[in-house]
Every structure is written in C-alpha cells, then in structure tokens.
Amino acid sequence: MQISEDRQKCFIALVTFERSGGRTEIIAPEAEGASGWIGVMTDDGREVERLLRQSLSEIGLRLLEVSEVLEIWDSDEVVEIDKHLAANIQKWETGHKWKTGQETIWGTIHPH
C-alpha cells in the first residue's frame, strides 16, 4: 500500500533501547533491553530520533542507538525487513494514526 502523498512522510528506524527504570510491558521482565524496527511519521527526517526518544520515554524506555533510518514510500518495501511492521504501517495508513495522533508504530522487537 502506497503511503499517501498528502500526509507526512514515513520513515523506519532500526533502534536499540533499554529500560529507564520501572516496569514496562514492551519487553519481558528478564530482558535488559531490546532492538527492532519502529515506524515514524514526520514531515522532517531530522525529527526521527527525537520522536523515537520521546515515544520510548513515554513508556519507560531509553533510546540507546538508532543504527539505520530509511524513508519509505510503500508499506510493501518494509515486508522483507519486518512483516509485523509492514502490517502495522498498513493499518496506520488506513486511519489509525490519523485518529490517535500516534507518531510511531512498532515492528518486531528482539529482547536481549
């Protein structure tokens, strides 16, 4: 599904993060942190890291590294990278993001 041209740009970022303290339901209690792909909607690619940091902080996680950022034009581009993220981007584009104001969306997370 093509990302709509009249809306914000979509980026995907490969991130590594850890708990910033307290309990979070995103990663298992025995895991120190995790990595995975997260989608970000923004007009400005320079805002990707700030939005990731903010989004993770809101759920008790600290961003450690953004190792790759790709601008995407079609959710089909993401399928080979992360099928779960591609499916979420399709849902996001069909209305969920625009109803909630959500700027980030999760793909598959790999705890460590």
Has residue 81 been placed in a domain?
yes
pLDDT band at 98 (very low <50, low <70, confident <90, very high): very low
User: Per the structure, how many domains does the chain have?
Assistant: 1
| Domain membership flag for residue 4 | no
Q: Is residue 1 part of a domain?
A: no
The pLDDT, as a whole number, for residue 21 is: 79
pTM of the full predicted structure?
0.86
3-state secondary structure of 24: coil
Q: What is the pLDDT of residues 24-58, one digit of tens each?
A: 888 888 888 999 999 998 888 999 999 999 999 98
How confident is the model at residue 7, as a pLDDT? 57
52: exposed, middle or buried (Cβ count in 10 Å: 0-12, 13-18, 19+):
buried
Q: Would you say residue 26 lies in a domain?
A: yes
Is 3 inside any structural domain? Answer: no
CB burial string 75-87: b at 16+ within 10 A, e below? bebbeebbeebbe
DSSP the chain: -BPPTTS-EEEEEEEEEEE-SS--SSS-TT-SEEEEEEEEEES-GGGHHHHHHHHHHHTTEEEEEEEEEEEESBGGGGTTT-HHHHHHHHHIIIIIHHHH---EEEEEEEE-
Per the structure, the complete domain to which residue 72 belongs is given by 9-111
